[in-house]
Amino acid sequence: MNFMPALIFFLILALFSIKIVNEYDRLVIFVVGRLWKVGGPGPVIVLPLIMSAQRVTLRTQVLDVPPQDVITKDNISMKVNAVVYFRVIDPEKAIISVEHYIYATTQLAQTTLRSVLGKSEMDELLANRDKINSELAQILDLHTEPWGVKVSNVEVKNVDLPQDMVRAIAMQAEAERERRAKIIHAEGELQASEKLGQAAAILAANPVSIQLRYLQTLSEIATEKNSTTVFPIPIDLISMFLDRKKNN
């Protein structure tokens, strides 16, 4: 009967010492302040008082970088935010090498975002966003590697420009559309004039074809049920009928 309290104590101690670690988590276990091992997945024994443990997830985490005030290379002020995808690949480094790896990654992402975008011009930021995303991911991954953190992707989400700059871009786009429209119209006029010149040369080589063309046009207008039609008659056609009358 004297062993019952001790047995109950050890059962309770064992019950509280067993930690269940999921497949996507790991436990970094310390014994009297010294690193012992990384445990999991499955049941892991962590004895109270002499052992402690910190849980680290291995799943990809999404970090939302708040809007940052950025001045581009061409001195344009804007607000830019981004999202960072990262995961822990070394739980031991994530706990020992940095105090709070999520907070450290957040601060690093903010400073890196301002630094990289400050070296880019506005047109490059708007047109080559994939290139900037890749550069941001490479820089972040390089700096977080000693922390056991792998940055897999960075995406610039929103770029908020000043209103005067938005209006200037809209005016520039409208001017570009008008320029393209004028070029297309001019090219159409050029092609039409070339075809008309070719047709005029063919008709000039055969005057009878001009008269046939007049007669065909008269026939087409007559089918449209117009009340009055005024159509110029070529002098050559009238002369032809007058010559026939004289000969008769």
Output the 3-class SS for the chain. CCCHHHHHHHHHHHHHHEEEECCCEEEEEEECCEEEEEECCEEEECCCCCEEEEEEECCCEEEEEEEEEEECCCCCEEEEEEEEEEEECCHHHHHHCCCCHHHHHHHHHHHHHHHHHHCCCHHHHHHCHHHHHHHHHHHHHHHHHHHCEEEEEEEEEEEECCHHHHHHHHHHHHHHHHHHHHHHHHHHHHHHHHHHHHHHHHHHHCHHHHHHHHHHHHHHHHCCCCCCCCCCCCHHHHHHHHHHHHHC
The pLDDT of residue 215 is: 62
pLDDT bucket at 224, cuts 50 / 70 / 90: low
Q: Which pLDDT belongs to residue 151?
A: 95
> Is the pLDDT score of 221 beyond 70?
no
pLDDT at residue 84 greater than cutoff 90: yes
Q: Give the pLDDT score at 85.
A: 96
Q: What are the domain boundaries of the chain? A: 4-57, 61-166, 204-248
**Confidence check: pLDDT of 192 > 70:** yes
Give the tokens for residue 20. 């269940």
Cα 101 from Cα 43, distance rounded (Å) = 25
pLDDT at 122: 82
Going by pLDDT thresholds of 50, 70 and 90, the confidence category of residue 121 is confident
59 to each of 25, 26, 152, 154, how far by Cα in Å? Answer: 8, 11, 12, 16
- Asked which of 14-18, 44-48, 113-117 is least confident by mean pLDDT, the reply is 14-18
149 falls in which pLDDT band (50, 70, 90)?
very high
Examine the pLDDT at 32 and tell me if it is beyond 80. yes
Neighbours of 126 (CB within 10 A): 13
**What is the percent of the chain where pLDDT is above 90?**
33
Q: Is the dihedral of CA 194, 196, 202, 207 positive or negative?
A: negative
**What is the reported pLDDT for 232?**
59
Model-level pTM? 0.65
CA–CA distance, 12 with 43 (Å, rounded to integer):
16
**CA nearest to 29, candidates 12, 47, 16, 14:** 47
Encoded tokens for 230: 């005024």
Please state, in angstroms and rounded to a whole number, the distance separating the CA atoms of residues 99 and 96.
7
Mean pLDDT of the chain: 81
Q: Which of 53-62, 176-185, 223-232 has the lowest mean pLDDT?
A: 223-232
Given this model, what pLDDT does residue 144 score? Answer: 94
- Nearest one of 118, 132, 131 to 74, comparing CA atoms: 118
Q: Find out if CATH 3.30.479.30 is the number for domain 61-166.
A: yes
Could you report the per-residue pLDDT of 35-66, keeping only the tens digit for each?
999 998 988 988 888 889 999 999 999 999 98
- Which strands form 51-57's sheet, in the order they lie side by side? 34-39, 25-31, 51-57
pLDDT at 248: 58
